Amino acid sequence: MATLLDDGSWEVQGRRLTLPVRITDASAALATYLVRTSAASRLVEDTGLSLVSMAGRTPLVLGFITYRAGDLDSYHEVAVALLARHRRCVGPYIRQMAVTESFTLEAGRALWGLPKWLARAELNLTGRTATCRLTETSGALVLTAALRTLPWRVPLTLPGTLTALAPCDDTVLASKLRGRVNGIRLGLRGAEVTLGTGNPMADELRAIGLPRRPITTLTADHLEFAMAAATPLPR
Task: List the domains of the chain with CATH numbers.
Answer: 14-234 (2.40.400.10)
pLDDT for the residue numbered 1: 83
Helices and strands of the chain, counted as H and E runs: 3, 16
Residue 52: helix, strand or coil by DSSP? coil
pLDDT for the residue numbered 211: 97
- Tell me how far apart the alpha carbons of residues 46 and 42 are, in angstroms, rounded to a whole number: 9
pLDDT for the residue numbered 191: 96
- Tell me how far apart the alpha carbons of residues 44 and 80 are, in angstroms, rounded to a whole number: 13
Total length of the chain: 235
Helices (H), the chain: 37-40, 102-112, 200-207
Cα separations in angstroms, 224 against 26, 173, 180? 6, 22, 6
pLDDT for the residue numbered 235: 83
pTM: 0.96
Listed residue (40, 176, 180) closest to 111, CA to CA: 176
CB atoms closer than 10 angstroms to residue 25: 13
DSSP code, position 158:
E
Q: Are 92 and 114 in contact (CB under 8 A)?
A: no
What is the CB-side half-sphere exposure of residue 136 using CA atoms within 13 A?
A: 12
Can you give the pLDDT of all 235 residues of the chain as single tens digits?
Answer: 899 999 999 999 999 999 999 999 999 999 999 999 999 999 999 999 999 999 999 999 999 999 999 999 999 999 999 999 999 899 999 999 999 999 999 999 999 999 999 999 999 998 889 999 999 999 999 999 999 999 999 999 999 999 999 998 889 999 999 999 999 999 998 999 999 999 999 999 999 999 999 999 999 999 999 999 999 998 8
Burial of 230 (0-12, 13-18, 19+ CB in 10 A): buried
Listed residue (225, 109, 234, 227) closest to 175, CA to CA: 227
- Tell me how far apart the alpha carbons of residues 80 and 31 are, in angstroms, rounded to a whole number: 10
pLDDT for the residue numbered 127: 83
